[in-house]
Structure 1
């Protein structure tokens, strides 16, 4: 065991094996040596780096020392916890899935006031040119929707009592991971929340509505229902022209229907007993449908 520990400690720690930033890697290697240090020792060494001599004794004595109002604050200690917490939080944020990115676009806005999203409508269809006549004006319009953004936040507090109890795992792992995941979940929660609320659009009609050609409450998820939905999607018109047939489709379902949706879209052959018959080639596999 001693030889194994010596071998482990003798191997340089690398943040990124392909990195050429030697200074960063040396700092990471030095920091890794303190990864298993108890919180009490971390606090004691941070105080010493700031020129503050900590008291002798265990965690209780150090906790009492930190509670004294005359003890100057430790910028090193604050920096250690802030950097460590932020790094863990960011890792959790980046590793948490967000399924809404497949069909949404991010945009920066200047403030928290009501903003507008503008777009140009489809231009009208070309008209037959009369012999000897003048071409008619090609018309289109602009459309806009209003929205606001909001800030979201959370705070994790940590005091000398936590240090005395040596709950460093809460700071080093659980709390930052939870906060990182919670931060990442804000976006999809908002996206799906807005979709489920079915808000009114600029025409005072709900986003999903029969008059928009994008709503039906009588079709359960099935190959036939998906055919109906895709047909409605591809025949939506504006100014007498199809809006778009070239974009891919994202099929959004609940977790309860996710497996059924995957079978419908990815199976080699159809499994529903429709007029097409079981075993017929699954045409959805040739469509750009994301789950």
Structure 2
């Protein structure tokens, strides 16, 4: 093995590394303007050699020794972390989730926290105040207290010495992107698993229940959809109208065409309040609950209408998934990157959600 004697500048090393990782056509760049010698960084092995040189470490005739030296140094870790971090974030941002119809919130910690469900009181209406009189206090009732707890989700991705020897650049690009997508799926998986499980709220009644009037039994049709819209719009408390409007129709792929026809006809009839359609395969195929790790079955005829009021809150401690780096030396030599995300989900209110055929 011929070991390199030239120290490639960091900016050129980074460029060559990116060309290797992303399988780009190498650009021949001289080490110095007046030199005719070109840098040779054509594969991950060359990257390892140059990282050892930049870290001030001697090169060995044994390739595994060079890899272990580079892994415990700074240069290789910085190169790998920039690529892996970029790909994880790109994968996370690539997929859609429930951001548009589920409220986003913050968690102070992983401990159980409370979310209050407020309701209108008859004394909460605005009233005329005669001259010389004092306005009465605005009163709301606490109808329920829902609990939310942060749950930590995490995975570790390791690029080990065997990956480097085998020139497995997919572990630096495709694998991190898939990890980012896995992190992104936590939110919709939690939301739709909860929708399908239909848990009880603090009043010991499921979110969707016949006693609430928001658990329909009819298949999606013009008539059943109109009933759901009416139910959302006519919610009152103590004679006070909640002024809710239907905002999202969520259906299975099986019902997509029927849903599009209903919404199109609705617009053609002059309805100004536009309802957005969301087609969600989890409702039909089922979804694995991220917390219990158990499969929650779906139904091809399931549909939901979500109103403008509060429905769910998805809250996080960190905001976005956090990425860390460490060296693995037990059983394998490699650079590991862990992704952790502490999140929680809570159903806030039932008055803005209607479920169709189960």
Unaligned stretches of 5+ residues in structure 2: 1-9, 21-42, 129-133, 278-358
Partner of 2:252: 254
For the pair 1:286 / 2:272, whether they are aligned, the reply is: yes
The separation in 2 between residues aligned to 1:128 and 1:168, in whole angstroms, is: 70
The separation in 1 between residues aligned to 2:79 and 2:164, in whole angstroms, is: 14
Q: CA RMSD in A?
A: 3.1
Unaligned stretches of 5+ residues in structure 1: 1-26, 271-280
Partner of 1:8: none
Q: 1:248 to 1:30 in 2, by over 3 A?
A: farther
The separation in 2 between residues aligned to 1:160 and 1:139, in whole angstroms, is: 66
Deviations for 1:149-189, whole angstroms, at most 9, x for unmatched residues? 21111011221111111101222x21111001011111111
The separation in 2 between residues aligned to 1:72 and 1:248, in whole angstroms, is: 55
Aligned pairs for 1:129-168 within 5 A: 139-143=139-143, 144-168=145-169
Aligned pairs for 1:1-291 within 5 A: 31-37=14-20, 38-55=43-60, 61-66=62-67, 73-98=72-97, 100-124=98-122, 139-143=139-143, 144-171=145-172, 173-217=173-217, 219-245=218-244, 247-265=245-263, 267=264, 269=265, 282-283=268-269, 286-291=272-277
1:234 Cα shift?
1.0
Contact 1:124-1:138 within 8 A present in 2 as well:
no
Deviations for 1:74-125, whole angstroms, at most 9, x for unmatched residues? 1211121122101111011112111x11211111121111111124312317
Contact 1:213-1:236 within 8 A present in 2 as well:
no
Q: 1:285 to 1:41 in 2, by over 3 A?
A: farther
The separation in 2 between residues aligned to 1:203 and 1:31, in whole angstroms, is: 59
1:51 Cα shift?
0.7
Q: 1:179 to 1:137 in 2, by over 3 A?
A: closer
The separation in 1 between residues aligned to 2:75 and 2:242, in whole angstroms, is: 59
The separation in 1 between residues aligned to 2:51 and 2:210, in whole angstroms, is: 65
The separation in 1 between residues aligned to 2:96 and 2:260, in whole angstroms, is: 18
Contact 1:63-1:163 within 8 A present in 2 as well:
no
Q: 1:138 to 1:72 in 2, by over 3 A?
A: closer
The separation in 1 between residues aligned to 2:261 and 2:74, in whole angstroms, is: 57
TM-score normalized with structure 1 length: 0.73
Partner of 1:15: none
Higher strand proportion, which one? 2
Structure with greater Cα Rg:
1
The separation in 1 between residues aligned to 2:137 and 2:160, in whole angstroms, is: 71
Contact 1:102-1:250 within 8 A present in 2 as well:
no
Contact 1:213-1:233 within 8 A present in 2 as well:
no
- Range 31-40 or range 143-152, more displaced: 31-40
The separation in 2 between residues aligned to 1:243 and 1:285, in whole angstroms, is: 20
The separation in 2 between residues aligned to 1:205 and 1:284, in whole angstroms, is: 37
Contact 2:13-2:47 within 8 A present in 1 as well:
no
- Range 161-170 or range 27-36, more displaced: 27-36
Contact 2:116-2:146 within 8 A present in 1 as well:
yes
